[in-house]
C-alpha cells in the first residue's frame, strides 16, 4: 500500500486506523475506542485504556528477548567517554531509581523537573517518572535560573532531578548554582532534589533538601510499572510563545505511545534492533520523542550524544558516530550541517568513515534551506528528508513517509501531511486557499494521537493560542503553501517566535527583559537571517529621556541581562540604540519591515506607517552592525 492509500484509509476511518496502530502497544486495559470527542474542540485519544509508558519503552523488550540488546549508547566526545546500556540494565536502573523516588513520596500525577545534560541518566530519570506515572518536565540546560524558576512555579514539582554540571566546549555549565538560584527565586519549593554528581564537577549538596543520586537508591525496593489512564499526562514540556511566559505543552500518555511507535517505521524506516540517532538535546521535543521515547518504545538502540557537530573535536564527529555505532537513520537540525559545512566544505573528513549502514538523514526544527540539503546529499550520497513539526504535536505533521513509500523529494518542502493531519492553508477569514497560495497553516480538528490536548494549567491560553483564530482548526503559527501535488512549503512564523540554531525562542520574551533595563523606554527584538543559525535575534533600544550614558555600555548591559534572565541559548549578542521605532499610526511596531531591511529583501512601504523616515535610521543602525547590506 502506498502513501496515498494509507492516507485515504486514515481519512475514511480514523478510528479504525488508530486502533490498528494501537495494537503495537502493550496495554494493561485495551482502549475501547480511539477518539473521545465529548468535550470538543478539546479532544482526547484512548482515554479509557490503561497503560504504562516505561513498560512499553523498556520492560516489554526484556520480556520479549531483547534484554541483551543495547538500549542506549552514550557517546560523549566532550568527556572522551563511551558507554552502552542494555535493555535489561536499563530496566534495572530505572526500576531502582523509580523505587527510590517512590520511597521519597513520588507517585502518580506528581510533577518532577529534570535538569540534566546529555547523559543516559537524563533518560533514566524520564523513564523512572514514567514508571511511576509521575509527570516529568525536562528543562534545557542552556536556560538561566530565572527560566527554571518560572517552570518550577508553573508545574509545582515535588522533586527536581539534576546533574551537578553540564559541559559546553571550553566551559563547565554549573547546574547546581543555577538550580539553587532558581529554587530561591521560585515561590514553590520542591520537597527534595536528587543530584547526579559528575566527575567533572562535584556540587555541594544542600543539607535536608538534596540527596545524592546513588545514595538515595541504596537498599530501596525496585518499583514496578504503575498503570495510568490513556489520557494521563506523560510529561509537560515548556516551549516559547509570544510572551515571556512559556507554554506548558502536555503530552498525553497513550496517544504518545501509539503515534511515536507508528512514526519509527513509517517515517524513519527503522526496524526494532536498528540504531537510531537524533542529535538534539533531551531538553527539546526532538529529544523527548526521538532520543528517548520513540526509539525505545519501538525497540531500537538510541544514541545519546554529548557533543557538538563541530569542535568536539572536529567537523567529522557526526560521521564518526554514524560509522562507529552503525546508525541507520540520523536526525538533526539543518543548522548542525551548516556548521559542519562551514568547517569542512568539501566533506574531506567524511572519507575517513564508513557510512554504509546509514539509510537516510532527517532534518527538522527549522526551515531546511536548499543549499544545506543539497550539500548534505552530495557529500553523503544519502537521501535527506526534511520534516515539519512542533513541540505541540510531538511528531511529524508533514514528512516523507519513507517506511510506507519514499516520495519524490522536492527540495525546500517537508513533503506531505502524515496520516492524522488534515492540513489546510487558510486566508485571514479562515477560508481555504487554492494550491500555490500563501496562507496560515492550520490543521482541521481533531489533531491525531500524541499531540497536545491542552496546556498545563492553562486551558484558556490553549484555546486562545491555538483554537480561536480558525474555529474548528488548530493554528500552527506557521505560514506556508500547499502545491498542486499536496506538498507543503513552510515559509515563516506568523507570530513573534524565532528559530535560532533550531531552538525556538520568543522575541516577546526578550523584549520583556530589555524593557526591564532602567534606561530602556521602549524596545523591539527581531530575528534576522543568520548564515549559521538560520536566525539571530537583534534588539533595538529607545532610551528614556535624559539618559546620556554611552550607548555601547547600555547595549552591553542589555546583552548581559538577556543571558542572565533567559540564558546563553537565547544567543542574544546584538542590541543597538535608536531614537525611535517604526510604527503604524495606531502604534504597532513594524517588526516585519525591520526584518526585511536587515535581510536586504524588498518590502512595500505600509500605507499605515506613521513616519517612513524612521526606516532610514533603522537601516543605518543595522548597517553599523553588519546587516542591511545593499546590492
121 lies in the binding site for ligand COA (CB under 6 A): no
The continuous run of DSSP H or E covering 151 comes out as helix 145-155
**Residue 51 contacts which entry, ligand COA, ligand AMP, none (Cβ below 5-8 A, type-dependent):** none
Per the structure block, which three cell numbers stand in for 473?
Answer: 482548526
The residue (of 117 and 453) whose beta carbon lies closer to ligand COA is 117
Q: Does 194 bind ligand COA (CB under 6 A)?
A: no
Give whichever of 402 and 490 is closer to ligand AMP, judged by the CB atom.
490
**Binder of ligand COA out of 77, 141, 252, 453 (CB under 6 A):** 141
Residue 569 touches ligand COA, criterion: CB under 6 A: yes
Q: At what angle do helices 175-185 and 145-155 cross, to 10 degrees?
A: 50
Smallest distance, Å, CB 134 to ligand COA? 23
Query: By CB neighbour count within 10 A (0-12 exposed, 13-18 middle, 19+ buried), where does 148 fall?
Result: buried
Q: Which of 52, 280, 372, 499 binds ligand COA (CB under 6 A)?
A: 280
Question: Contact with ligand COA (CB under 6 A): which of 309, 394, 414, 450?
Answer: 309
The listed partner (ligand AMP, ligand COA, none) that binds 504, CB under 5 to 8 Å by sort, is ligand AMP
Strands 50-51 and 228-229: antiparallel
Judged by CB under 6 A, the number of residues near ligand COA is 26
3-state class (DSSP) for residue 536: strand
Longest CA–CA separation in the chain, Å: 74
Q: What angle do CA 228, 231, 232 make, to 5 degrees?
A: 45
Q: How many CB atoms lie within 10 A of CB 26?
A: 16
Task: Look at residue 386 and give the partner it binds from ligand COA, ligand AMP, none, a contact being a CB closer than 5 to 8 Å depending on partner kind.
Answer: ligand AMP
* Closest listed residue to residue 90, CA positions, set 64, 119, 121, 115: 121
Q: With binding defined as CB under 6 A, does residue 558 bind ligand COA? A: no
Interface with ligand AMP by CB under 6 A: which residues? 239, 285, 364-368, 386-388, 390-391, 414, 476-478, 490, 493, 499, 504
Which distant-in-sequence residues (6+ apart) come within 8 Å of 200 by Cβ? 79, 164, 165, 167, 172
Of 375, 367, 305, 369, nearest to 340 by C-alpha is: 375
> Minimum Å distance from CB 481 to ligand AMP?
12
Residue 599: contacted member of ligand AMP, ligand COA, none (CB under 5 to 8 Å, by partner type): none
Minimum distance from residue 599 beta carbon to ligand COA (Å): 19
* C-beta of residue 112 within 8 angstroms of C-beta of residue 101: yes
Nearest to ligand AMP of 193, 526 (CB atom): 526
**Taking the complex as a whole, how short is the minimal distance between the CB of residue 44 and ligand AMP, in angstroms?**
21
Q: What is the DSSP letter of 231?
A: T
248 touches, from ligand AMP, ligand COA, none (C-beta below 5 to 8 Å by class): none
- How wide is the angle at C-alpha 92 spanned by C-alphas 96 and 296, nearest 5°? 115
Radius of gyration of the chain (CA): 24
Would you tell me which residues interact with ligand COA (CB under 6 A)?
A: 141-142, 166, 168, 173, 280-281, 284, 286, 308-310, 332-333, 335-336, 339, 365, 500-503, 533, 568-569, 571
Amino acid at each position: 500500500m502506498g502513501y496515498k492509500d494509507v492516507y485515504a484509509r486514515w481519512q475514511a476511518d480514523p478510528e479504525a486506523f488508530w486502533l490498528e496502530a494501537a495494537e503495537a502497544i502493550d496495554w494493561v486495559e485495551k482502549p475501547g475506542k480511539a477518539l473521545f470527542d465529548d468535550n470538543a474542540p478539546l479532544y482526547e485519544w484512548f482515554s479509557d485504556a490503561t497503560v504504562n509508558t516505561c513498560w512499553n519503552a523498556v520492560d516489554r523488550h526484556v520480556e520479549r528477548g531483547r534484554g541483551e540488546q543495547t538500549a542506549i549508547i552514550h557517546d560523549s566526545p566532550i568527556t572522551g567517554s563511551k558507554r552502552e546500556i542494555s535493555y535489561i540494565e536499563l530496566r534495572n536502573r530505572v526500576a531502582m531509581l523509580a523505587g527510590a523516588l517512590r520511597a521519597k513520596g513520588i507517585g502518580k500525577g506528581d510533577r518532577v523537573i529534570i535538569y540534566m545534560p546529555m547523559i543516559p541518566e537524563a533518560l533514566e530519570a524520564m523513564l523512572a517518572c514514567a514508571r511511576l506515572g509521575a509527570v516529568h518536565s525536562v528543562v534545557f540546560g542552556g536556560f538561566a535560573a530565572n527560566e527554571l524558576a518560572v517552570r518550577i512555579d508553573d508545574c509545582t514539582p515535588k522533586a527536581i532531578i539534576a546533574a551537578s554540571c553540564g559541559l559546553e566546549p571550553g566551559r563547565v555549565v554549573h547546574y547546581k548554582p543555577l538550580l539553587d538560584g532558581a529554587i530561591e527565586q521560585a515561590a514553590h519549593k520542591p520537597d527534595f532534589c536528587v543530584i547526579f554528581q559528575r566527575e567533572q564537577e562535584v556540587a555541594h549538596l544542600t543539607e535536608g533538601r538534596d540527596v545524592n543520586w546513588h545514595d538515595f537508591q541504596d537498599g530501596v525496593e525496585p518499583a514496578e510499572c504503575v498503570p495510568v489512564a490513556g489520557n494521563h499526562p506523560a510529561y509537560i514540556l515548556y516551549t516559547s510563545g509570544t510572551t515571556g511566559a512559556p507554554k506548558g505543552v502536555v503530552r498525553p500518555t497513550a496517544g504518545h505511545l501509539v503515534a511515536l511507535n507508528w512514526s519509527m517505521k513509517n517515517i524513519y524506516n527503522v526496524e526494532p534492533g536498528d540504531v537510531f540517532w537524533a542529535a538534539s538535546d533531551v531538553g527539546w521535543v526532538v529529544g523527548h520523542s526521538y532520543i528517548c521515547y520513540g526509539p525505545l518504545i519501538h525497540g531500537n538502540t538510541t544514541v545519546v550524544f554529548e557533543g557538538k557537530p563541530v569542535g568536539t573535536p572536529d567537523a567529522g564527529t557526526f560521521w564518526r558516530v554514524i560509522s562507529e555505532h552503525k546508525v541507520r537513520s540520523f536526525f538533526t537540525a539543518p543548522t548542525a550541517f551548516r556548521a559542519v559545512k562551514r568547517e569542512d566544505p568539501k566533506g574531506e573528513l567524511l572519507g575517513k568513515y564508513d557510512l554504509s549502514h546509514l539509510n537516510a538523514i532527517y532534518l527538522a526544527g527549522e526551515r531546511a534551506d536548499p543549499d544545506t540539503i543539497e550539500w548534505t546529499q552530495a557529500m553523503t550520497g544519502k537521501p535527506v528528508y526534511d520534516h515539519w513539526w512542533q513541540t505541540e504535536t510531538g511528531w511529524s505533521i508533514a514528512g516523507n513517509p519513507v517506511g510506507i513509500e519514499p516520495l519524490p523529494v522536492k527540495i525546500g518542502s517537508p513533503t506531505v501531511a502524515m496520516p492524522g493531519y488534515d492540513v489546510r492553508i487558510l486566508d485571514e477569514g479562515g477560508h481555504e486557499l487554492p494550491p500555490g497560495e500563501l496562507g496560515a497553516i492550520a490543521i482541521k480538528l481533531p489533531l491525531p494521537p500524541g499531540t497536545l490536548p491542552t496546556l498545563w494549567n492553562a486551558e484558556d491560553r490553549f484555546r486562545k493560542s491555538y483554537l480561536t483564530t480558525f474555529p474548528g482548526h488548530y493554528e500552527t503559527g506557521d505560514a506556508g503553501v500547499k502545491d498542486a501535488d499536496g506538498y507543503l512549503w513552510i515559509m515563516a512564523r506568523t507570530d513573534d517566535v524565532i528559530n535560532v540554531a533550531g531552538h525556538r525562542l520568543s522575541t516577546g520574551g526578550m523584549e520583556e527583559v530589555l524593557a526591564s533595563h532602567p534606561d530602556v523606554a521602549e524596545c523591539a527584538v527581531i530575528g534576522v537571517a543568520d548564515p549559521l543559525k538560520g536566525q539571530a535575534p537583534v534588539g533595538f533600544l529607545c532610551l528614556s529621556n535624559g539618559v546620556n550614558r554611552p550607548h555601547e555600555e547600555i547595549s552591553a548591559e542589555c546583552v548581559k541581562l538577556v543571558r542572565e534572565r533567559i540564558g546563553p541559548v537565547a544567543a542574544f549578542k546584538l542590541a543597538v540604540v535608536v531614537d525611535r521605532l517604526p510604527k503604524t499610526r495606531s502604534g504597532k511596531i513594524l517588526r516585519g519591515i525591520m526584518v526585511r531591511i536587515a535581510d536586504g529583501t524588498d518590502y512595500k512601504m505600509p500605507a499605515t506607517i506613521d513616519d517612513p523616515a524612521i526606516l532610514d535610521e533603522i537601516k543605518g543602525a543595522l548597517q553599523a552592525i553588519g546587516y542591511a547590506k545593499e546590492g
